């Protein structure tokens, strides 16, 4: 393809050492010029310390990518290849340098201006499990690009998504399934479909097959090759697997410690490596032929990969290089043309290997033969890798999709992996039934089998009914909630009367019917419990989402506020606030917050949102770095969309569990405030208040104390059991959400 | 280590400062100067007396003047004077603190022992009768508000027993330790129980889930495989790793209690910090309220600091910096 017009710039000086061998056919699709990406190091002490340390993830890299070619970017873990791929897509901001895509400099564009370009460049991720949002259906995941860019109407979207699914070899009928119902290879196909949706020109493949089984690797590699021919795609193929790269790529660029050390056509680099590092890498590729393997002794490099915070002087490879000399320690070599038949083959080395020379310095007795063996073994390893599907790249485009159709997935049993294991479920439902179920319906199914939860739900329902029917109970007994019965409701000494036919649960100190007051008290408890929890969770979740998603200043401020809120002695403050307001109501325009339910709800909300916010924030921070969030950003999704569609559904289980467990806490808090006399004010019926009043009569009237206490305990107990049940159902592993 | 301490203490002071500011603001938007001065002067007092009282207490000055005055006093270790009796807040707190401290010193070992031991047992023998009993009882107490449990304990263990001639537990009240250690302990048994049972329930649940997680780890299996005695596996290998969340929770709980076990003290009529605070709040006695809040926040801040240091003790991987 376009490897005859390679243009490579020397890394250090950054001068435009452009080497033009033939007339330019056209501009390269992607041109990275002197790209630098440094990450600041966060050490424990943020203040001071000797300057700022940075990780030099990518250090002065220049690279051109021609239209329709596949450039393999190889190197060890941590060499900066993934960072370079993300910089190329502007998923990361550049420290310096420029990214030129199809004639436009993207390096300084704002997110909004970048949006049109996001359609033209896409990414396929390494982890087929992390790169798909497990809480969204496949159709919605693949349709995301359409939704974000608003290119298809809702009705047309389904059609397009199913076409895409067919194109990548998925069964379009699985449109409504969840990612968990697919195997690793199938999930990777979903990722490919998503990347293809908007017909991009460039796709950065970040180790797209390294998480897959070898046989499935071959399928995906062939799929990518087929799609490239069909759509004229350009790939930047990041991998640490030289065999895959050799099979798929036109050119190879080898990275070491943030820099490109060698670049050239695959046939050159893989056969005649010039840089000692490349040679060492190649010698480590396993050779399937035992005879050849015995002859091709791998070069084992000494020493560890140096720290990218403080890279070695001169040539970065010199501490580990068997050929290093004094010059290497002082002067960094530029990426320059070296001898060789192909002028596009460059290496950054002062003392590169000669054609066919082996790294150990000693020339093999018959170097040509050794090279031939090496080439042969590489070819064999590549063939073993891709198996009998090796011929696929030669297939015509329309045949490729047939080969890769769902029926052709012989090597990949579709059902074995797609059934979700359900630990903790008493009797696993048949596999057929489990499929097509969302995580929510699975959780609901588990909950239905939990007897304690069902009973608690029944108890809660009864209490709710009791509260709702309070006026009915009052009219049936003929006793109003505030009505005092000094003659029939009190003993001659003026003490409460015990349970009787007239007063089923007895009377209180003012001769009022305890049953009626309990029913009205239930209204207050439930209302405050639900409202205060809703307020707490609402505020806490929003703050947690925002604080966790946007790191930096916003997060720092919110985190500090949370610290302060958590260090505040809750009850003291709640009492203070409630007591102040109970003396002088606050006026906010038309809204008056006086003693009563509203102040109790607000006080509880003010002092408990921070707990929820802290937990949500922790979860969001973990989710923020998952690949599916990065995938959404690569598609050009705005922050609010990512928070709403990708982050929130994954935090939802925590929020729901927390909500259920917070309701009893809020109910108890309300009762405690009223018990202390700063909550709901008399004569309103309230459980906490009744207990406080009953405390003066416990020697004479046990019922007065016992019934409100029992009602309170029963309510909180039921909510707690149900909350535990929901937690177990949502997360069967039994992780404690309160942690 | 010193850097760490310095930073954390500075942060703690900042938090406490925020807290005092917030209390000040809460009460400034509250009833304000006139009410307190009028209440102090009495119903019949002429306006001039009210104004005089207000001026003496700085109540007629803007809130930031009052706050500045309070801060400068605080820096001299003086928390100010009670509005009503001109009693030193330092003295009031010094009298109330031993009561709260007595409550914590007895309750904390009880609830930690109950909670952790039952939690470990439940995790080691999951689904056994013992586990079901412990988790069931824990759930019950976890759902019981302190004031309900306290009042019920008084009703059953004090009143009903005493009425039937068994007077083991005394009526609510407090006896100083210096007066009679035995009576002190006797007077505090019920409050200790009330506080410990409710808190222990949370620790049983926490320990159980934390231990279950750890017992599933590979290194526990390795320890068993190499023949480490089961007791040692549980207490040395598993419990030590499972303690982290428990230590965090204990730090928070004990720290908050130093601001007064508000409810427990109220139920059992113990004149500790929480009791003092509730009464001061009812009287809008700002200096006393702030005094208690300062002590309470200091308790929370100190407890958090101790928890962080304990992390490093429990887990050698944690370094303080």
A500 touches A485 (CB < 8 A) = no
- Stronger pLDDT, A561 or A20, i.e. the higher one: A561
Q: Do A736 and B296 touch (CB under 8 A)?
A: no
**What are B271-275's contacts with CB under 8 Å, separation 24+?**
B271/B95, B271/B96, B271/B99, B271/B174, B272/B96, B272/B97, B272/B99, B272/B100, B272/B103, B273/B93, B273/B96, B273/B97, B273/B99, B273/B100, B274/A571, B274/A572, B274/B100, B275/B96, B275/B99
What is the C-alpha separation between A358 and A104, in angstroms, rounded? 43
DSSP secondary structure string for all residues of A647-675: IHHHHHHHHHHHHHHHHHHHHHHHHHHHH
At A325 the pLDDT is 86
CB atoms near residue A72 (< 10 Å): 28
pLDDT above 70 for A24? no
3-state SS, residue A60:
strand
Phi and psi, residue B165, nearest 5°: 85, 0
* A560: closest CA of chain B, how far (Å): 9
Q: Tokens in use for A629?
A: 């969030």
Cα–Cα distance for residue pair A429/B281, rounded to 1 Å: 59
CB atoms within 10 A of CB A80: 25
Name, in order, each residue with C-beta under 8 angstroms of B230's C-beta and a sequence gap of 6 or more.
Answer: B224
Predicted confidence (pLDDT) at residue A43 exceeds the cutoff of 70: no
Judging by beta carbons within 10 Å of its beta carbon (0-12, 13-18, 19+), is residue B231 exposed, middle or buried?
Answer: exposed
Beta carbons of A667 and A528 less than 8 angstroms apart: yes
pLDDT for position A370: 53
Integer Cα distance of B44 and B40 in angstroms: 11
How big is the A-B interface in CB pairs under 8 Å? 143
Both tokens assigned to A687:
């459980």
From residue A79, give the alpha-carbon distance in Å to each of A308, A456, A549, A622, B126.
Answer: 8, 56, 27, 24, 47
Model pLDDT for residues A490-523, shown as the tens digit of each residue: 888 888 888 888 888 989 888 899 999 999 999 9
pLDDT tier for residue A237 given thresholds of 50, 70 and 90: very high
The backbone torsions φ and ψ at residue A573, rounded to the nearest 5 degrees and listed phi first, read -70, -40
Query: Given its phi and psi angles, is residue A169 left (phi above 0), alpha (psi -120 to 50 degrees) or beta?
Result: left
Q: What is the mean pLDDT of residues A120-134?
A: 90
Query: How many CB atoms are located within 10 Å of the residue A314 CB?
Result: 18
Asked if the model's pLDDT at residue A399 lies above 70, the reply is: no
- Extract the tokens encoding A103: 């004639």
Buried b (16+ CB within 10 A) or exposed e, A563-591: bbbbbbbbbbbbbbbbbbbbeeebeeeee
Distance CA B292, CA B96 (A): 10
Pick from A31, A4, A6: nearest CA to A18 = A6
Q: Give the β-pairing of A591-593 and A586-588.
A: antiparallel
**Tens-digit pLDDT profile for residues A723-736:** 888 888 887 554 43
A195/B contact by beta carbon, under 8 A:
no
Whether residues B3 and A45 touch (CB distance < 8 A) is answered with yes
- In this prediction, residue A410 carries a pLDDT of 38
Q: Provide the strand spans (E) within A589-689.
A: 591-593
Tell me how far apart the alpha carbons of residues A322 and A275 are, in angstroms, rounded to a whole number: 11
ipTM of the complex model: 0.85
pLDDT tens digits for A523-541?
A: 999 999 999 999 999 999 9
What are the backbone angles phi and psi of residue A256, rounded to the nearest 5°?
-140, 120
Which residues of B are less than 8 Å from A677 in CB distance? 282
Domains belonging to chain B, first-starting first, are 2-78 (no CATH), 91-320 (1.10.3720.10)
From A299, A300, A190, A320, select the one nearest A257 (Cα to Cα). A320
Q: Is A256 helix (H, G, I), strand (E, B) or coil?
A: strand
Whether omega for the bond prior to residue A683 falls within 30 degrees of 0, making it cis, is yes
Among residues of chain A, what percentage have pLDDT more than 70? 78
Chain A residues close to B172, C-beta within 8 Å: none
Taking the Cβ of residue A423 and every Cβ of chain B, the question of whether any pair is shorter than 8 Å is answered with: no
Check residue A643 and give its pLDDT: 93
- Terminal C-alpha separation, chain B: 6
Q: What is the dihedral of CA A41, A43, A46, A49, to 10 degrees?
A: -90
List of chain B residues whose C-beta atoms are within 8 Å of the C-beta of residue A586: 29
Give exposure, A405-431, as e/b (b: 16+ Cβ within 10 Å): ebeebeebeeeebbeeeeeeeeeeeee
Would the pLDDT of A298 be above 80? no
Give A355's Cβ-side CA count (13 Å radius): 9
Per the structure block, which two tokens stand in for A339? 């001898």
pLDDT above 90 (res A26): no
pLDDT in tens, chain B (321 residues): 777 788 878 888 888 888 888 877 777 665 554 566 766 767 677 777 777 777 777 777 777 888 888 888 888 878 888 877 888 899 999 999 999 999 999 999 999 999 999 999 999 998 889 999 999 999 999 999 988 999 889 888 888 888 888 878 888 888 888 888 888 998 899 999 999 999 999 999 889 988 988 898 889 999 999 999 999 999 988 998 888 888 888 888 888 887 768 889 988 999 999 999 888 887 778 788 888 888 888 888 888 888 888 877 777 776 665
Quick check: B145 and A579 CB within 8 A?
Answer: no
Residue B75 CB partners (closer than 8 Å, separation 6+): none
| CB < 8 Å to A724, chain B | 139
Average pLDDT over residues A474-503: 87
What pLDDT is recorded for position A522? Answer: 95
Q: Which two tokens stand for residue A194?
A: 């998503």
Q: Where are the alpha helices (DSSP H) in A48-183?
A: 81-88, 111-118, 138-149, 154-167
User: Do the Cβ atoms of B30 and A720 come within 8 Å?
Assistant: no
Decide if pLDDT at A149 tops 80: yes
Range in A2-11, A30-39, A216-225, B159-168 the model is least confident about: A2-11
Q: Which of A43, A452, A525, A568 to mutate to test the interface with B (most CBs of B within 10 A)?
A: A568
pLDDT at A414 over 80: no
* Confidence tier at A411 by pLDDT (50, 70, 90): very low
**How far is the C-alpha of A92 from the C-alpha of A406, rounded, in Å?**
36
Residue of A nearest to B209 (CA): A736
Q: Which of residues 575-614 of A touch B (CB under 8 A)?
A: 575-577, 579-581, 583-584, 586
What is the rounded distance in angstroms from the CA atom of residue A244 to the CA atom of residue A381? 9
- For residue A45, name the pLDDT band (cuts at 50, 70, 90): very low
- Quick: pLDDT tens for B86-110: 888 999 999 999 999 999 999 999 9
- With DSSP H G I counted as helix, E B as strand and the rest as coil, what are the percentages for chain B, rounded to 5? 75, 0, 25
Residues of chain A above pLDDT 90, percent: 31
Length of chain B measured in residues: 321
Q: Under an 8 A CB cutoff, do B26 and A576 touch?
A: yes
For residue A734, which residues of chain B lie inside 8 Å, CB to CB?
A: 209, 212-213
3-state SS, residue A65: strand
Over residues A66-81, the pLDDT tens digits come to: 999 999 999 888 888 9
Q: Does A721 touch chain B (CB under 8 A)?
A: yes
* Predicted confidence band of residue A427 (pLDDT cuts 50, 70, 90): very low
Whether A336 has its CB under 8 Å from any CB of chain B: the answer is: no
B-contacting residues in A 27-46 (Cβ below 8 Å): 44-45
- Give the Cβ contact number of residue A661 at 10 Å: 19
**Comparing C-alpha atoms, which of B100, B103, B108, B8 is closest to residue B311?**
B8
Q: Which residues of B touch A563 (CB under 8 A)?
A: 11, 15
What value does the mean pLDDT of chain A take?
Answer: 80
**Mean pLDDT to the nearest integer, A203-229:** 90
Give the pairing of strands A70-74 and A234-239.
parallel
SS3 A263: strand
**pTM of the predicted model, to two decimals?**
0.78
E-strand spans in A213-250?
234-239
Q: Is A336 helix (H, G, I), strand (E, B) or coil?
A: strand
Q: Do the chains contact at A583 and B245, CB–CB below 8 Å?
A: no
């Amino acid at each position: 393809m376009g490897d005859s017009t390679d243009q490579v710039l020397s890394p250090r000086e950054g001068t435009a050492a452009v080497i033009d061998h033939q007339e330019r056919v056209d501009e390269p699709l992607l041109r990275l010029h002197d790209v630098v990406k440094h990450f600041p190091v966060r050490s424990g002490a943020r203040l001071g310390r000797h300057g700022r340390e940075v990780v030099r993830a990518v250090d002065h890299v220049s690279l051109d990518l021609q239209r329709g070619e596949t450039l393999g970017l190889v190197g060890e873990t941590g060499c900066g290849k993934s960072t370079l791929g993300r910089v190329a897509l502007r998923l990361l901001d550049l420290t310096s340098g420029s990214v030129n895509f199809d004639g436009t400099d993207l390096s300084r564009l704002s997110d909004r201006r970048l949006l049109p370009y996001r359609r033209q460049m896409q990414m396929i991720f390494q982890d087929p499990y992390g790169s798909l949002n497990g809480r969204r259906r496949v159709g919605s995941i693949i349709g995301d690009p359409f939704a974000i860019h608003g290119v298809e109407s809702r009705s047309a979207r389904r059609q397009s998504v199913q076409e895409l699914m067919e194109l990548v070899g998925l069964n379009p009928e699985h449109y409504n399934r969840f990612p968990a119902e697919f195997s690793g290879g199938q999930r990777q196909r979903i990722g490919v479909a998503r990347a293809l949706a908007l017909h991009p020109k460039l796709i950065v493949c970040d180790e797209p097959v390294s998480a897959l089984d070898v046989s499935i690797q071959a399928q995906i590699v062939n799929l990518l090759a087929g799609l490239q021919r069909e759509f004229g795609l350009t790939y930047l193929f990041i991998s640490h697997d030289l065999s895959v790269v050799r099979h798929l790529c036109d050119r190879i660029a080898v990275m070491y410690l943030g820099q490109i050390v060698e670049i050239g056509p695959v046939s050159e680099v893989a056969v005649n490596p010039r840089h000692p590092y490349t040679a060492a890498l190649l010698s480590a590729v396993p050779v399937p032929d035992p005879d050849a393997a015995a002859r091709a002794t791998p070069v084992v490099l000494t020493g560890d990969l140096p720290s990218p915070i403080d890279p070695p002087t001169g040539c970065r490879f010199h501490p580990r290089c068997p050929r290093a000399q004094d010059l290497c320690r002082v002067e960094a070599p530029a990426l320059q043309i070296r001898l060789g038949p192909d002028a596009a083959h460059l290496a950054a080395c002062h003392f590169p290997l000669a054609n066919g020379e082996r790294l150990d310095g000693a020339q093999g007795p018959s170097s040509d033969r050794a090279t031939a063996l090496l080439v042969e073994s590489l070819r064999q390893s590549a063939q073993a890798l891709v198996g009998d599907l090796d011929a696929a790249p030669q297939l015509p485009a329309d045949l490729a999709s047939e080969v890769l159709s769902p029926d052709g997935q012989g090597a990949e049993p579709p059902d074995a992996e797609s059934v979700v294991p359900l630990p903790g479920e008493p009797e696993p439902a048949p596999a057929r039934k489990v499929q097509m179920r969302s995580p929510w319906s699975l959780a609901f199914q588990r909950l239905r089998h939990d007897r304690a939860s069902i009973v608690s739900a029944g108890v809660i329902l009864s209490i709710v009914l009791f509260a709702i029917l309070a006026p009915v109970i009052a009219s049936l007994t003929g006793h109003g909630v505030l009505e005092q019965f000094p003659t029939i409701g009190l003993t001659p000494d003026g003490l409460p009367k015990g349970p009787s036919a007239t007063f089923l649960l007895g009377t209180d100190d003012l001769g009022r019917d305890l049953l009626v007051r309990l029913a009205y008290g239930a209204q207050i408890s439930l209302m405050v419990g639900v409202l205060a929890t809703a307020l707490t969770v609402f505020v806490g979740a929003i703050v947690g989402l925002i604080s966790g998603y946007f790191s930096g200043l916003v997060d720092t401020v919110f985190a500090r506020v949370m610290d302060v809120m958590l260090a505040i002695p809750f009850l003291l403050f709640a009492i203070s606030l409630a007591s102040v307001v109970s003396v002088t109501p606050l006026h906010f325009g038309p809204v008056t917050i006086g003693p009563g339910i509203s102040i109790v709800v607000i006080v509880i909300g003010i002092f408990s949102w921070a707990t929820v916010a802290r937990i949500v924030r922790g979860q969001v921070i973990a989710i923020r770095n998952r690949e599916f969030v990065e995938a959404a950003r690569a598609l050009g999704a705005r922050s609010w969309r990512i928070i709403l569609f990708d982050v929130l559904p994954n935090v939802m289980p925590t929020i729901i569990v927390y909500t259920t467990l917070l309701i009893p806490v809020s109910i108890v808090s309300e009762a405690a405030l009223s018990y202390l006399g700063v909550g709901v004010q008399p004569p309103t019926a309230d459980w906490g208040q009744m207990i406080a009043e009953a405390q003066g009569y416990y020697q004479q009237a046990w019922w007065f104390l016992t019934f409100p206490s029992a009602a309170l305990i029963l309510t909180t107990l039921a909510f707690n059991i149900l909350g535990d049940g929901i937690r177990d159902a949502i997360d069967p592993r039994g992780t404690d959400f309160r942690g | 280590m010193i850097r760490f301490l310095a930073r954390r203490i500075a942060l703690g002071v900042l938090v406490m400062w925020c807290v005092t500011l917030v209390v000040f603001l809460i009460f400034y938007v509250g009833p304000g100067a006139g009410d307190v001065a009028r209440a102090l002067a009495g119903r019949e007092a002429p306006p001039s007396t009210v104004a005089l009282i207000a001026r003496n207490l700085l109540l007629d000055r803007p809130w930031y003047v009052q706050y500045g005055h309070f801060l400068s006093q605080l820096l001299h270790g003086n928390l100010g004077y009670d509005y009503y009796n001109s009693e030193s807040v330092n003295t009031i707190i010094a009298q109330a603190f031993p009561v709260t401290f007595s409550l914590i010193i007895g309750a904390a070992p009880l609830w930690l022992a109950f909670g952790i031991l039952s939690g470990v047992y439940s995790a080691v023998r999951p689904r056994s009768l013992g586990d079901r009993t412990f988790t069931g009882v824990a759930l019950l107490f976890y759902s019981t508000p302190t004031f309900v449990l306290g009042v019920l304990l008084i009703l059953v263990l004090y009143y009903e027993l005493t009425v039937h001639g068994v007077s083991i537990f005394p009526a609510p009240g407090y006896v100083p330790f210096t007066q009679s250690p035995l009576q002190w302990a006797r007077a505090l048994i019920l409050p200790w129980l009330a506080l410990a049972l409710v808190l222990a329930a949370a620790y049983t649940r926490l320990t159980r889930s934390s231990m279950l997680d750890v017992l599933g780890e590979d290194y526990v299996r390795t320890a068993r495989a190499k023949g480490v005695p089961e007791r040692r596996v549980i207490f040395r290998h598993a419990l030590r790793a499972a303690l982290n969340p428990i230590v965090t929770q204990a730090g928070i709980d004990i720290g908050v209690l130093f601001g007064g076990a508000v409810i427990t003290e109220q139920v059992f009529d113990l004149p500790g910090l929480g009791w003092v605070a509730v009464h001061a709040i009812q009287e809008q006695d700002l200096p006393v309220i702030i005094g208690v809040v300062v002590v309470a926040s200091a308790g929370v801040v100190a407890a958090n600091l101790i928890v962080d240091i304990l992390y490093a003790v429990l887990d050698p991987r944690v370094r303080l910096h």
